[in-house]
Structure 1
Amino acid sequence: MISIWVSVIVILVANGVRNEEDVQPCAKVQTSSSVVPLGSPVTATCVIRDDCPLVIGQAVHIEWRLDDGFIPSSPEASESGMISKVVIPNFNHSRAFLTCCVQASPIQVVGGVEIRAGYQPEAPQNLSCQTNLTNPNTMTCSWAPGQQETYLLTTYTLHTEIRDSNENHTYKLPTGAHSFTIPRSDFVLFSEMKIYMKAVNELGELTSSPIILEPVSAAKFDPPNIQRVEAVAKRNGCLKLSWSLSQQQAWMSGHRLNLEVRLKPADSNQWSEQPVLVSRVKPNKSVDLCRLLYGTQYFTQIRVRYKQSPWSEWSSSQSGVTLESAPTGRLDFWMKVSGDHMHKQLNVQLFWKPSKQFRANGQNVSYIVSVQKQPSEKGKVCSTTGNYCTFQLPKKAKKVYLSAVNTAGKSPPTEVKIYQPQGHTVISNMTVTPGGDQSLLVQWKALDTSSLSGYVIEWRPLLQTDLSHIQFEIADRNQSSLVITGSIEPYKPYGISVYPRFKDGIGLPQTVNAYSRQKAPSMVPKLRIKKTWQSHIELTWEKIPLEQRNGIIKSYKVFYWNEKGPIKVVNADLEERRVILRDLNTVFLYEAFIMVSTFGGSLNGSAIHFEIEPFDAVTIVMIVLASGVGLSLFAIFIVMTCFSNHKRIKGRFWPVVPDPANSSIKRWTSDSTEDTHPSWDNDEPDPIYLSHLSFLDMPTKLSKEEDDLWLNSAEETSDLGESICGSPFIPGYSGSNSDSVPYATVIFSGPYRSPPPKENQVYLRSESTQPLLEMEESFSPKCYQNMANHELLEEQCFFGPSHDCVPEEGTDSVIVWDDFPFLQALAMNDTQND
């Protein structure tokens, strides 16, 4: 209701102002100003007319309202109380209604006024103008208004003054616009102009700093064109550049412009930091660029401006090559030598790269390795355009020479000493950490630096096997870290080695594989069932290819479970790549999968299903049959072994008892048994060197108690084997038809094939009472040679005449038995049967 009254009273007051005769308000409100700075004090006075019907005949009580709120007031010193004054110490509204009211029922508004507050405008900032030389030609000026909000309506105007013609223009800008385009008719390209901006509102106006410019000098030209870039004849390191303006701005060709040129070598990605400035040059006139590298291809770009106008955009690139010169400077190198003491040749791998002082000075540069200081075809061992070379040298070679060659000449040779590999290990605590996606930080420590001359840090991508990808850096002996940058890529494995350098060789390196950034593997191997037991199962998997690992594998985990049990986890060995799942139940179906983890993430594989089958009756029968067959084969093998060696086994368990009836003892002698035994006689055991022979005289009849002669007492057999040497006839001996057979015992001192012993013979008595087999077949004794004192005597015939033995003339055919003691024991007397 109060707000409605406010609007009504304002209308009434306004109407009363326009037509005082028609409407006369009950009160008049006066303020110091209707627009004040925000936050400043405001003073207002309310005067009520005496003829106001609201106060006639009533006590007057005046109140003040600011929008919907009451504010305290102080009445003026008057008897009627028709005047009231109010002071607002801090007016903090951008817009508000101040009303004067009288106490009534309800309260009546008798007068009011609107008060607005704000800030004075700020001067426009960053005024700039740019001329467009493309048809139609125009000039656009832009600025930035003040950052502070004025809360009042602010207007902007652009003012230009052409000095040569005293021509002035003012442009009123639309509300909110911050730029304005001046038409071509209102400026002159080559005449100076003064340009400034004004900002105006009810609290005041401010003007920007003016700028004075020549419109053409405010023009931004189109990118120029490079027509060609070529080498300057007879001037090494110089290029000649020809250029022109765009077709729409070709009319400016008669004016001098400022030109900037930037260059970069063909093998670089960075343009020169400081472009070459060429001042006041006319288009279509060539420009010489010197102090460049010899024989190097350069890419060039240019841009132009007129006086202090903005630079144009860079032109498109054009390339040119400077004249070549012989390479200069030395090369950094790194040599690895292999070979052992058994070979006369050394296998050498030599790597090199340009040093900071090296200049190829040509496009097609090759490198020559020679054993001679001045390279020649005779001493050349290698020639290549790459950055490495492998060759062989004699073991006594001490040095080679490395030179760079182009069409203009050769560089001074770099001397490369051939260092033999040393067995020293001085590098310890080597670590490689990522320094970013494209860098690695290598750190190391040396156990002993007294003999060191430096280090060689070598790195190569493990996915590339070509030696050309090997890179290296030479480090000082006091250095303990190096940041590798350049060709490092994330998720790719690199092998980094640190070699110690000594004055006389290269020590053993330490090598670490590293990644600049890791992530989860790209694939997971499939689980395979290798072996199954009654309650166990063995799972295996293949290696992940190196290119799909994306990091260093830190764990293999196998998860398995059944439908009623919890999930179990088994960690696998990184090298074996297998796990054994134990204590499985034959009742349930199991499910398993493998998770492969790197230091950058993990990836799960596909699940497999398996179950443990219990042993059924058929399986048990098969196992029993297999066991039986195995045991049978083993038994057959043992039996066959025994039969194949029956003679040796028989000799172990059943000793051979000589059979005198079939024995060849009658052919033996005490001296030359080995010589007389035929080599073909293999049916009986090896003959023995005899030293004693005796017979056992067995009784004709034995009682029952005497059936087992092996059980007789020692007294009954104490005289068995009594020596009968020296007697050609044995009393009581019976022939083949007798009931008892004497048992011959042979005592020997050495094997048949052993030489006769020189020491005295030892005669042993026989304790055996085993009867000899009867000899039914008669035999005809052979001729024997009687040996006495190791001398050959004449042949003697025994046991009667024989056709095999014919005595020579002059020999005595009488047999002397005393000369043959052994044969005396073999003599058999004819006996008659009982």
Structure 2
Amino acid sequence: MATMSQTWSIFIAVLTVQLCVGKKSCAIWSSAGPVVKLGSSFEVFCTFNCSCKGSMYSEHPPTRQSHKVWNSTTISHNVVNITKNRTFSCHCSCASALDPCGQDISAGHTPDRPKNISCIYKERKVVFCTWNRGRDTYLRNTSVLWVRTVSGNHTNGPVLYKVSSKGTALPSASFNVSTSVQLISVWVEVQNPLGSEISITTNYTLNDIAMPSTPVLGPPECSSRECIIKVAQSVMTQHLEIQHRAEAETWTSYPDTVVRNSLVQVQSLKSYTMYNFRARSKFSSGLWSQWSTNVSSWTQEEAPAKELDVWYAKSDSDFKQRVYWKEPDISIAGGKITQYRVKVDSQNSESVCTNVSADARNYLVPFCANCEVTVWACNSKGLSPPARITSHHTKVRHPQDVLTVTVDNHTISWSKPETTLLSAYVVEWYPKGHKLEELRWVRLGSNDKHTVMTGIKPYECYEGAVYVFYNNISVSRTRFTGVTTLESAPEAGPSVQEKVEGNTVKVTWTDVPRGQRGGCITKYTIYLVSNGKNLQTYSISASDRSHIISDLSPAAYSLWMTASTAKGEGRAGQEVKFFIQQETQLSLLLGCVVVLLIVLFLLCLYQISAVKQRLLLFSQCLMLDVVPDPANSKWAKECTQEKGKMNLQLQPSNSTVTEEEEEPILVDVEELPKQSSDTCTPTDVSSPLPPQTSLSLLTEPATVLYPLTTYIKSFSHDSDSSDNTQTSLDTNITVDYISSHGPGNIDEEDQEDEYEEEFVRMMDFFPSHNIFKEPLEFGRKLTLDAVKIDCIDFFQNS
């Protein structure tokens, strides 16, 4: 009741002022005043100068607020849990010429007690103090620093000093003290419209808070392992601390750095490294100065201090071998690597040295069983120590050397062999089928028993091996496979090809594309359907790339494949179709077709006249190697002496023939009917060739013995001087063999000379003319020279 009376008294007073002034249309006020605590609740009242329908607004832009009507001239708005500064205004329709009234309400906190007062005594006899003012009050605060000093037995103060917070997050104040002051006491008072707070009193001895000025560092002068820095200070200090760090590293301190002639020497640095330096100083007692501004410089290069980490790999599919190396750490490289040098030593050839680009990380070397490869890193200062790798280590496999390798996610673990000769491990891993392209490895000590595979990609299948080295001479290897992460079923099937042979089909396939495998393939499945039904499946190992299906019945078949991982079977690949036929019918049909084609070809070829003529000449050459001269043969001389028989005596044609002749061989000759003569004397050369002439053993007509033809130049031998004698007979056409000499005009010596000349002509095996380029001439008269057949031209031109 008392509160309501006080409220109305304030209202009447405000209203009286407004009426006297006459410029506002209303009066507005808050029950909690213009400054309130954050989160508080209160009421805002508005009283108009006339009776009207009033309204209240807040926020920006102005928003009409709900209000309570007290009477015809007074309204109020209840504010609950205020969270920020707000402005309220009131409006009335009866006094449009007057301005509306308004009120700003500020919300904030009472001040926190200041704490953590820190004071320092600088060289110029100035004390500088800072403190923590606590949370933001969202109100205008007023702070002051109270200082009391003690000099000997005399105490001064307290003295108030203004506080400044411009340019810093912490409020601060500074004041001068005389050299006689030994002790100071400080505290802070802060206030705002909602209240005030005073900190606890802090006492300081000036020697304990004395701080020298910040040192100034000059530009460093560096070699490969140390830097010399010039330090400038306004007063001499007893302590100097230098710190340095490389890029992205933590600071390394030297708290008691020796200063000689204002120079500081910083050692144990890395070569070819950018270093930042800073420093601070301190008196024998008191506080450290602020850190100086950072200065930086590069250390110089030096030759690489350590050999490269080198490994090698052989391809499983071809004779390729690559040597790999890791980029050296900057602390090992000693500078900027300009190139790598690779040397291949072989027992069977000279050493080959090659310079490789600084961006390269591997080199393809010729595959050889006894090669040793050496790799160096090069910079502007020289070469690194040689790193050697060889592929002809002695392979050991003892029971105690066999590793038990386990794979957990992508962590490889193994049991340590029971031997004291163990020197190192090498663990390699790579995506399956991409060993040469994406090989990774790590070299470990003899006490390591596990490693984590890095660079593992999801939905990829990895394999590798663990190598155990024994004094770098012998090595054993244990393989592992099936390492993957985030596995899924394959997104595609294998690409299939089929080859049908009889009732057997050979199925070959390529692996699922790398990006669609979903992890490690565990098996393949072949699906075979005949005539749209009778589904058959074949489960195949993941390492196979072909499969033979035999004993298939004649039918139309469809075939497709799928791949599976540990997460399930993937999608089917493309479907292929093939047909199995009856093998016997197919073979018979193919045989008939081939024979028919050959017969038709020969018939068509035989219809060509030129071909037919050459075939006839070729057949005559095959039949007649040596044409006998019947006019000079013993058979012609003796055929009349013994009727019905002919004595044939073979005499060698070479010079080693013996004088004794073998006993004549009697050959039965069929008697033919008589013609017009009983003798075998040939017709006179001057007489014309009769249309039909007979040659007979008797005077009676005989069957035709020789064909009617013209014999082209040939080789002829007498039956007495030739080892081989052939006779060509034809019962349809006859011809008279005409001799250039009478049977009684050729003695034996002349006959042998003629045969020797014929033998010389026979040795001229390469004629100068072509029988197919010269026309064939047929005459009616024959001589012995014309009868002789020469088939050499035929073979030469064919």
Q: TM-score range by the shorter chain?
A: 0.3 to 0.5
With structure 2 as the length reference, what TM-score do the two structures score?
Answer: 0.39
TM-score, scaled relative to structure 1: 0.38
